[in-house]
Amino acid sequence: MEDSHAIWQVPEKMFFSAEIYDGHGGKRAAQIAAEMLTPCFLKLWEGEAEKPLKKRRGEAELLRQAYTDVDDHILNAGVKSGTTSATFYVIDKRYIVSNAGDTRVIIGTKAGADLLTLDHKPSLSEERSRIEKSGGFISGYGTPRVQGVLAVSRALGDAGLKPFVISDPRIVEGLLEKDNDFVILACDGIWDVLIPQEVIDIARSAESPQEGARQIKDRALDYGSTDNISVIVIDLRDYL
């Protein structure tokens, strides 16, 4: 299994994060990302606090910089593998969600569940255009792949597929509301066979977040998932 995950907390900053990294071509890139991404963000964030208020960068910009820094570290370390990523940050009553690749984050709402991430697939017109303008190509039987190899167009690492596979993440920010009861992060081994509503329903009916994660994993296996499976379930009800 090439997945990694991370949980970080800084109580004095009212900061919490949960993260999943779905590695490919080896597990080292996923391990590095899990170890480094949020510490890098926190270091950048601390540095901004020393600047005059008008010159400080926002958290989303700092998180984007952390992706770039970790990607550079993976490449400079000679690591050939790559990894998707999905992070869910809570800062007080705000959330910041980032992803590169097809690992997803969903959040419970009054209407059901909202998808907070975007699958970066080579078949997306803007991704295909970017890759082709860089001199790359998309090919593959059934599943479009960058250079005929990788089924995602954004990831950390993947030295052999630069500059076509980039690390620049999608970032979404919002305010947590009372109806946001659960957050689920999961790699594509879940989403290949389960829809967000089914996943949130399982989390809501389980006796605990841990039991919810186990049931989601078991349901995906029952439905025939053959890919790596990593799931994190976060219960926000007491927090809100």
Q: Who's near 213: CB < 8 A, 6+ residues apart? A: 231, 232, 233
User: Any idea of the CA torsion for 164, 117, 91, 34, to the nearest 10 degrees?
Assistant: -50
The pLDDT assigned to 176 comes to: 97
Whole-angstrom Cα distance, residue 12 to residue 4?
Answer: 26
DSSP state for residue 108 in the 8-state scheme = E
Q: Is 98 domain-assigned?
A: yes
The pLDDT assigned to 5 comes to: 98
The pLDDT assigned to 238 comes to: 85
What pTM does this model have? 0.96
The count of structural domains within the chain is 1
Q: Is 218 domain-assigned?
A: yes
Q: Is 240 domain-assigned?
A: no
CATH number of the domain encompassing residue 139: 3.60.40.10
The pLDDT assigned to 140 comes to: 79
Q: Which domain holds residue 178?
A: 3-235
Q: Who's near 44: CB < 8 A, 6+ residues apart? A: 62, 65, 66
Q: Is 171 domain-assigned?
A: yes
| Spatial contact of 166 and 154, defined as CB atoms under 8 Å apart | yes
Q: Is 112 domain-assigned?
A: yes
The pLDDT assigned to 156 comes to: 98
Q: Is 32 domain-assigned?
A: yes
Whole-angstrom Cα distance, residue 229 to residue 227?
Answer: 6
In the chain, what is the greatest distance between 2 CA atoms, to the nearest angstrom? 55
* Per-residue pLDDT of the chain in tens (240 residues, 90 and over written 9): 789 999 999 999 999 999 999 999 999 999 999 999 999 999 999 999 889 988 999 999 999 999 999 999 999 999 999 999 999 999 999 999 999 999 999 999 999 999 999 999 999 999 999 999 999 999 978 899 999 999 999 999 999 999 999 999 999 999 999 999 999 999 999 999 999 999 999 999 999 999 999 999 999 999 999 988 999 999 999 887
DSSP state for residue 50 in the 8-state scheme = T
